């Protein structure tokens, strides 16, 4: 029944079968080439894609380094907080999850959305922290509704704790999530989005050392993002940041803060060891609580810090520039001595004012000081004496010596964003103002008014340079770093400049400053029995007399600033510094605050009980506003 | 019925290659379906056992198809065809539905998928039809009749819907027609005629998901999380295997389910991942050997019926292999076309082994009368 093949048929069939065989062989060869391209030629690319598929690297945040004071007291430490985070790849509907989360925790849904949207470009397996420092109630609420909240996880992470709250807030700075702008910078290379970094103060300046090294948990996940297992051998534990010992003395720092608190004034204070520039205390007020940043600052707090007219976030010690007032007079006196213009015995008659270049400049003391030599001129803060010396020096020589003593230049303290003050010169006026300097302008400069402006930290360097005889020490905060095994002392940075002031000339100025405190001068309130405290008060006008009348109705605080620069003891000083009271009215008020600092310092040095925090009354502040009745006194520095 | 001397004419090489491919398939199914509970330990997935049972049944089917003279099957081909069509109709009426398609007839613990037997049934009927025709398949009317025979089960299967399996009937028809002397010019005309038909089908007859599959294949990056996902993951799976592969059960794409239905449609991708390019070459070599060797059997066949039967069966087989392997590398749109002998699936394995029984049968009986 079946049809056997005829020879013709067979040939035809054989031909067609051969053709079929060739076609199949060619197809297979093409397939082999295709696989070769993927598996051999492009293997690397696909291997990486496969790894991205199933390997997940989760950062384990490292605790930041602990900060100690010079005696080993803990200033800044860590504690664990709970964060609530979202892993997008574990949820199909991010919107629904956020809605439920907002309802469960009472957090604003729009804010959650914004956080997610800001970080939408990150890989979907990376947790996005939605609620930092969750309250126990929020944490429990989330745990209870776990099944309605796919992708929401709780994380226990180390966070910063500042036991002193606002104590030295500007010095420590604060921490927050790294910003996108920072990620672009070389300083933050290797930092992953979401990592906590220092945003101000020491936290920012030493972020590299403090940050530690993030650990990693490397794990295998399946296609729906579920964790299959952790690759222990490839994971790494986080390494805590370096423990750092600061030059700060917690007792001095406390004394500064207590003094300011009792005074009720804002301002700044910097206290140094004049021998090497170690910072013993550093404050700027008003302050903020860095703890409120540590767990993610809430919007309301952030907004209020930013709109506050008193600018609590500004570090006045580094960034505020103010007229130095009479505290500038030592620089003028020393310039005169060193330039050979005057001797300590050079005397000037003060009759309550003097004429220069056709204009009458008043002394702060109506009726005048009589005939005064250098020591008395500093002690009594005689304006006419320094008008005269300044006029003889000319602005450029004043500029030269003020700069050598640290004014008008950066201190180069190891804190970020320092601003620079100004001591004018003919060169400055020519380049910056494109105008000629008039000799008449020098008169105001000689008593620290006019264009002269300084930062409190540069004033502390000034005090230290006067104290140590010409070495412009670099203020610094880091004393030692623990490298995990042992303490490694940090060498003090070299002075910014050094000038040999002859001891007898220096002594003449120091005698004057001693007299300010101990000889019935304006700084008598800083006197400490048994210790030769030297100092100088300064009262700096905020606005010219003419301007004051015009602005009187604006309601702005235009009261004078009060300065007190000091060092002690007179011979071989071990402490130097400055207290600046913003709108503190009078230099002597600053001396009252400095008294508590010095009393604490010497009590500690002598092994005596340290004085209790002063009360407001203890400071005996002078609230008399010389301008209160609109009476315009002389264009001159006071006291 | 079975003469002892026929035993010596069994093509042991072909049979060996077929069983070797089946073995590789079971190994890969074992690898991709291995169950690792979180508590530790692990065991083979149930699919391995199902496939082993199917292999046993398949070997029996192969032996039956080998021992009974293929001419006997051919004589009853119309009846077998009728039975097949009845089963396909039954599936549409009372079949069990899984994953949105009605393809199975439950028999005890097993599910029978009649569509998998369509290729063998059609090959027998067409070989009979063209083989008994003295003219061969030289004119259009033969082609039309053969086409109608093919179209009946094809449409029934496509209705399930199971376009992938339905399409595999076309190469069977073309294979037989081609060997039966179909003029290539006619084939070209048919192909040209199919083009507008295809466009029409694309526009109106295809379901949304089918159209989407084709679109995403053309541009998988357009929707990498959605429909383009499988194409991209197939390439990643294959490409990440490299030259030597990640090792047995060491794959990540298949093991962690980044590539869906790895034990089924994408078993060859997993082979490429775990055994590398070398493993791919071995498997491709075996498949190529099986196909060329079968075509050799067609050449040796003593009658046209035998030659056409082998040609039809092996054309369908070759089409499935080439398409599935291309798809496994992400180079063809994802279609439900499984890899014969290796993919998980009992009915497919049984039907394929039965088909090879017939091929061995034709070669073995080349000297008998």
A13 contacts in chain B (CB < 8 Å): 179, 298-299, 304, 307
Closest CA to B268 of B291, B229, B241: B241
Q: How many contacts does A have with B, using Cβ atoms within 8 A?
A: 146
Tokens coding A45: 């690319």
A223 contacts in chain B (CB < 8 Å): 256-258
Tokens coding B58: 């398949």
Tell me the C-alpha distance between B187 and B131, whole Å. Answer: 19
A527 SS3 class: coil
Cβ–Cβ contact A433 with B under 8 A: no
Residue of B nearest to A44 (CA): B240
A378 SS3 class: helix
Binary contact (A220, B235; C-beta < 8 A): no
B contact test, residue of A7, A24, A123 with most B CBs within 10 A = A24
Which of A14, A45, A54 faces B256 most closely, judged by CB atoms? A54
Residue of B nearest to A26 (CA): B288
The backbone torsions φ and ψ at residue B43, rounded to the nearest 5 degrees and listed phi first, read -155, 165
Tell me the C-alpha distance between B308 and B191, whole Å. Answer: 21
Binary contact (B284, A228; C-beta < 8 A): no
Average pLDDT over residues B25-42: 85
Tell me the C-alpha distance between A196 and A210, whole Å. Answer: 11
Instruction: Say if residue B154 is preceded by a cis peptide, omega within 30 of 0.
Output: no
Cβ–Cβ contact A22 with B under 8 A: no
B305 contacts in chain A (CB < 8 Å): 2-3
A58 SS3 class: strand
Q: How far is A142 from chain B (nearest CA, A)?
A: 25
Tell me the C-alpha distance between B211 and B195, whole Å. Answer: 16
Place of tokens 């035809």: A12
Q: For position A636, what pLDDT does the model report? A: 47
Q: For position B43, what pLDDT does the model report? A: 86
List B residues 346-365 in contact with A (Cβ-Cβ < 8 A): none
Domain carrying residue B21: 4-364
B75 contacts in chain A (CB < 8 Å): 1
- Helix (H) or strand (E) holding A176, with range, is strand A175-177
Q: Which of A373-382, B28-37, B225-234, B360-369 has the largest mean confidence?
A: A373-382
Cβ–Cβ contact B128 with A under 8 A: no
Binary contact (A3, B132; C-beta < 8 A): yes
List B residues 301-340 in contact with A (Cβ-Cβ < 8 A): 301-305, 307, 311, 315, 318, 322, 325-326, 329-331
Cβ–Cβ contact B114 with A under 8 A: no
Q: Is residue B96 part of a domain?
A: yes
List A residues 219-238 in contact with B (Cβ-Cβ < 8 A): 220-224, 228
The backbone torsions φ and ψ at residue B112, rounded to the nearest 5 degrees and listed phi first, read -95, 135
Q: How far is B241 from chain A (nearest CA, A)?
A: 6
Q: Where does residue A619 rank: exposed (0-12), middle (13-18), buried (19+ CB within 10 A)? A: buried
Binary contact (A31, B311; C-beta < 8 A): no
Closest CA to A404 of A473, A452, A456: A473
Cβ–Cβ contact B253 with A under 8 A: yes
Pair A87, A125: CB distance under 8 Å: yes
Q: Do β-strands A67-68 and A243-246 pair in parallel, antiparallel, or remain unpaired? A: parallel
Buried b (16+ CB within 10 A) or exposed e, A243-275: bbbbbbbbbbbbbbbbbbebbebbbbbbbbbbb
Which of B236, B318, B331 faces A24 most closely, judged by CB atoms? B318
Q: How far is A20 from chain B (nearest CA, A)?
A: 8
Handedness of CA A108, A112, A113, A115 (dihedral sign): positive
Cβ–Cβ contact B289 with A under 8 A: no
Q: For position A184, what pLDDT does the model report? A: 85
Instruction: Say if residue A286 is preceded by a cis peptide, omega within 30 of 0.
Output: yes
Instruction: Say if residue A569 is preceded by a cis peptide, omega within 30 of 0.
Output: yes
Tell me the C-alpha distance between B105 and A292, whole Å. Answer: 68
Cα–Cα distances in Å, from A634 out to A329, A541, B35? 18, 11, 94
Tokens coding B300: 């040796």
Each residue of B171-200: pLDDT tens digit?
Answer: 999 999 888 887 777 778 877 877 777 777
Q: Where does residue B168 rank: exposed (0-12), middle (13-18), buried (19+ CB within 10 A)? A: buried
User: B204-213 — which CB contacts under 8 Å span 24+ positions?
Assistant: B206/B163, B207/B161, B210/B163, B213/B333, B213/B334, B213/B335
Mean pLDDT of successive 10-residue segments in chain A (639 residues)? 63 90 95 95 90 82 92 91 87 86 88 86 82 86 84 86 88 89 81 84 92 85 75 82 94 94 94 96 92 79 85 92 94 94 93 91 89 93 94 94 94 94 92 89 92 95 94 95 90 91 90 91 89 92 68 68 94 94 90 94 93 90 69 46
- Percent of chain A that is helix, strand, coil (3-state, to 5): 40, 20, 40
Which of A4, A49, A53 faces B302 most closely, judged by CB atoms? A4
Q: Do β-strands A370-373 and A347-350 pair in parallel, antiparallel, or remain unpaired? A: antiparallel
- Helix (H) or strand (E) holding A536, with range, is strand A534-540
Binary contact (A35, B299; C-beta < 8 A): no
A47 contacts in chain B (CB < 8 Å): 239-240, 242
The backbone torsions φ and ψ at residue A393, rounded to the nearest 5 degrees and listed phi first, read -75, -40
Cβ–Cβ contact B43 with A under 8 A: no
Choose which CATH entry (3.40.50.2300, 3.40.50.11540, 3.40.50.970, 3.90.1310.10) describes domain A56-246.
Answer: 3.90.1310.10
Tell me the C-alpha distance between A442 and A438, whole Å. Answer: 7
- Percent of chain B that is helix, strand, coil (3-state, to 5): 70, 5, 25
Which of A31, A50, A220 faces B240 most closely, judged by CB atoms? A50
Q: Is residue B297 part of a domain?
A: yes
- Which residues are bridge partners to A39 per DSSP? none
Q: Is residue B369 part of a domain?
A: no
Number of structural domains found in chain B: 1
Reported residue count of chain B is 369
Pair A626, A638: CB distance under 8 Å: yes
Cα R_g (chain A), whole angstroms:
35
Binary contact (A35, B71; C-beta < 8 A): no
- Helix (H) or strand (E) holding A347, with range, is strand A347-350
Q: For position B101, what pLDDT does the model report? A: 72
- Distance from the first to the final alpha carbon of chain A: 135
Q: What's the CATH class of domain A250-284+311-619?
A: alpha beta
Cα–Cα distances in Å, from A498 out to A280, A347, A404? 22, 29, 7
Question: A146 or B78, which is more confident?
Answer: B78
Each residue of B314-369: pLDDT tens digit?
Answer: 999 999 999 999 999 988 888 788 999 999 999 999 999 999 999 999 999 988 76
**Order of strands, sheet of A279-285, starting from the edge strand that comes earlier in the sequence:** A279-285, A266-272, A575-582, A561-568, A534-540
For chain A, the domains span 56-246, 250-284+311-619
Tokens coding B162: 């199971």
Tell me the C-alpha distance between A220 and A57, whole Å. Answer: 9
Binary contact (A2, B291; C-beta < 8 A): no
Pair A443, A424: CB distance under 8 Å: no
**Count of CB atoms situated within 10 Å of the CB of B340:** 30
Cα–Cα distances in Å, from A413 out to A236, A270, A338, B128? 36, 11, 27, 100
Tokens coding B284: 């491709």
Cβ–Cβ contact B214 with A under 8 A: no
Each residue of B147-178: pLDDT tens digit?
Answer: 899 999 999 998 888 888 999 999 999 999 88
Cβ–Cβ contact B266 with A under 8 A: no
Cα–Cα distances in Å, from A452 out to A60, A403, B182? 51, 12, 106
Tell me the C-alpha distance between B139 and B145, whole Å. Answer: 11
Q: How far is A82 from chain B (nearest CA, A)?
A: 28
Question: B35 or B17, which is more confident?
Answer: B17
Cβ–Cβ contact B344 with A under 8 A: no
Q: How far is B110 from chain A (nearest CA, A)?
A: 30
B252 contacts in chain A (CB < 8 Å): 50-51, 53-54, 220
Tell me the C-alpha distance between B359 and B301, whole Å. Answer: 10
Closest CA to A78 of A143, A167, A162, A135: A162
Pair A488, A479: CB distance under 8 Å: no
Which of A3, A17, A42 faces B239 most closely, judged by CB atoms? A42
A contact test, residue of B184, B240, B328 with most A CBs within 10 A = B240
Tokens coding B44: 């083979």
Cβ–Cβ contact B7 with A under 8 A: no
A contact test, residue of B236, B247, B298 with most A CBs within 10 A = B236
Chain-wide mean pLDDT for chain B?
87
Residue of B nearest to A51 (CA): B252
Q: Where does residue A60 rank: exposed (0-12), middle (13-18), buried (19+ CB within 10 A)? A: middle
Tell me the C-alpha distance between A98 and A109, whole Å. Answer: 7
């Amino acid at each position: 029944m079946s049809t056997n093949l005829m020879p013709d048929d067979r040939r035809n069939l054989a031909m067609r079968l051969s053709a079929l065989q060739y076609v199949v062989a060619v197809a297979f060869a093409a397939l082999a080439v295709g696989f070769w391209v993927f598996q051999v030629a492009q293997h690397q690319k696909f291997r990486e894609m496969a790894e991205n598929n199933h390997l997940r690297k989760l950062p384990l945040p490292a605790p930041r380094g602990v900060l100690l004071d010079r005696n080993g007291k803990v200033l800044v430490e860590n504690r664990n907080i709970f964060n609530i985070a979202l892993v997008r790849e574990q949820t199909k509907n991010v919107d629904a999850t956020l809605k439920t989360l907002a309802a469960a925790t009472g957090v604003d849904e729009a804010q959650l959305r914004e956080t997610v949207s800001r970080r939408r470009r990150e890989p979907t397996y990376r947790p996005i922290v939605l609620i930092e420092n969750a309250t126990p109630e929020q944490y429990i609420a989330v745990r209870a509704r776990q099944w309605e909240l796919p992708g929401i996880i709780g994380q226990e992470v180390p966070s910063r704790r500042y036991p002193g709250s606002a104590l030295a807030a500007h010095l420590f700075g604060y921490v927050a999530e790294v910003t996108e702008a920072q990620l672009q910078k070389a300083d933050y290379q290797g930092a992953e989005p979401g990592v906590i970094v220092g945003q101000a103060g020491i936290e920012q300046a030493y972020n590299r050392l403090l940050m530690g090294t993030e650990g990693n948990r490397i794990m295998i996940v399946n296609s729906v993002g579920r964790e299959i297992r952790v690759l222990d051998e490839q994971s790494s534990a986080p390494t805590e940041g370096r423990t750092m010992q600061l030059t700060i003395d917690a007792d001095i720092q406390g004394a500064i803060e207590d003094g300011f608190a009792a005074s009720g004034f804002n301002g700044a204070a910097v206290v140094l060891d004049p021998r090497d520039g170690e910072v013993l205390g550093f404050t700027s007020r008003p302050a903020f609580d860095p703890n409120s940043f540590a767990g993610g600052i809430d919007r309301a707090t952030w907004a209020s810090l930013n709109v506050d007219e008193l600018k609590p976030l500004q570090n006045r010690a580094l960034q505020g520039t103010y007229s130095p007032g009479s505290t500038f007079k030592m620089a003028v006196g020393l310039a005169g001595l060193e330039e050979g213009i005057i001797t300590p015995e050079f005397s000037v008659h003060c009759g309550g004012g003097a004429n220069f270049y056709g204009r009458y400049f008043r002394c702060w003391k109506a009726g005048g000081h009589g005939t005064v030599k250098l020591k008395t001129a500093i002690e009594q803060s005689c304006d006419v004496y320094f008008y005269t010396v300044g006029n003889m020096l000319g602005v450029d020589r004043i500029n030269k010596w003020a700069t050598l003593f640290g004014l008008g230049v950066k201190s180069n303290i190891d804190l970020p964003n320092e601003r620079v003050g100004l001591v004018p010169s003919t060169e400055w006026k020519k380049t910056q103002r494109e105008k000629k300097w008039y000799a008449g302008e020098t008169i105001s400069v000689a008593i620290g008014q006019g264009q002269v402006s300084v930062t409190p930290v540069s004033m502390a360097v000034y005090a230290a340079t006067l104290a140590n005889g010409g070495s412009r020490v670099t203020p610094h905060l880091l004393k030692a770093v623990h490298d995990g095994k042992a303490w490694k002392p940090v060498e003090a940075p070299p002075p910014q400049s050094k000038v040999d002031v002859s001891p007898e000339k220096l002594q003449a100025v120091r005698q004057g400053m001693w007299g300010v405190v101990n000889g019935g001068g304006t700084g008598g309130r800083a006197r400490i029995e048994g210790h030769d405290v030297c100092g100088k008060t300064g009262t700096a006008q905020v606005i010219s007399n003419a301007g004051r009348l015009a602005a009187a109705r604006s309601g702005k605080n235009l009261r004078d600033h009060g300065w007190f620069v000091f060092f002690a003891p007179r011979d071989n000083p071990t402490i130097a510094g400055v207290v600046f009271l913003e709108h503190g009215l009078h230099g002597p008020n600053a001396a009252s605050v400095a008294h508590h600092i010095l009393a604490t310092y010497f009590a500690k040095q002598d092994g005596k009980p340290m004085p209790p925090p002063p009360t407001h009354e203890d400071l005996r502040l002078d609230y008399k506003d010389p301008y209160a009745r609109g009476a315009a006194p002389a264009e001159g520095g006071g006291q | 019925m079975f003469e002892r001397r026929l035993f010596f004419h069994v093509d042991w090489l072909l049979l060996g290659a077929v069983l070797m491919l089946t073995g590789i398939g079971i190994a890969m199914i074992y690898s991709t379906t291995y169950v690792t509970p979180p508590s530790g330990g692990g065991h083979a997935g149930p699919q391995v056992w199902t496939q082993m049972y199917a292999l046993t049944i398949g070997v029996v089917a192969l032996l039956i198809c080998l021992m009974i003279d293929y001419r006997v099957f051919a004589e009853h081909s119309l009846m077998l065809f009728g039975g097949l069509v009845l089963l396909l109709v039954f599936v549409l009426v009372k079949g069990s539905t899984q994953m949105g398609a009605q393809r199975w007839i439950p028999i005890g613990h097993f599910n029978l998928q009649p569509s998998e037997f369509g290729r063998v049934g059609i090959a027998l009927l067409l070989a009979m039809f063209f083989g008994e025709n003295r003219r061969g398949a030289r004119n259009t009317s033969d082609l039309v009749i053969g086409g109608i025979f093919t179209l009946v089960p094809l449409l029934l299967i496509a209705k399930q819907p199971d376009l992938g399996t339905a399409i595999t009937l076309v190469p069977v028809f073309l294979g037989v027609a081609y060997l039966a002397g179909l003029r290539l010019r006619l084939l070209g005309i048919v192909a040209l005629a199919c083009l507008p038909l295809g466009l029409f089908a694309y526009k109106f007859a295809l379901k949304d998901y089918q159209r989407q599959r084709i679109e995403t294949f053309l541009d998988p990056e357009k929707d990498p999380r959605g429909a383009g996902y499988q194409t991209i993951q197939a390439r990643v799976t294959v490409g990440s295997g490299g030259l030597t592969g990640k090792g047995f059960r060491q794959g990540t794409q298949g093991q962690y389910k980044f590539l869906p239905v790895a034990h089924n449609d994408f078993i060859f991708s997993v082979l490429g991942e775990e055994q590398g390019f070398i493993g791919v070459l071995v498997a491709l070599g075996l498949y190529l050997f099986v196909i060329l060797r079968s075509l050799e059997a067609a050449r040796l066949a003593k009658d046209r019926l035998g030659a056409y039967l082998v040609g039809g069966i092996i054309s369908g087989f070759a089409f499935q292999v080439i398409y599935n392997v291309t798809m496994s590398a992400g180079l063809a749109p994802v279609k439900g076309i499984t890899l014969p002998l290796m993919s998980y699936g009992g009915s497919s394995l049984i039907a394929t082994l039965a088909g090879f029984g017939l091929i061995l049968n034709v070669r073995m009986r080349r000297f008998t009368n």
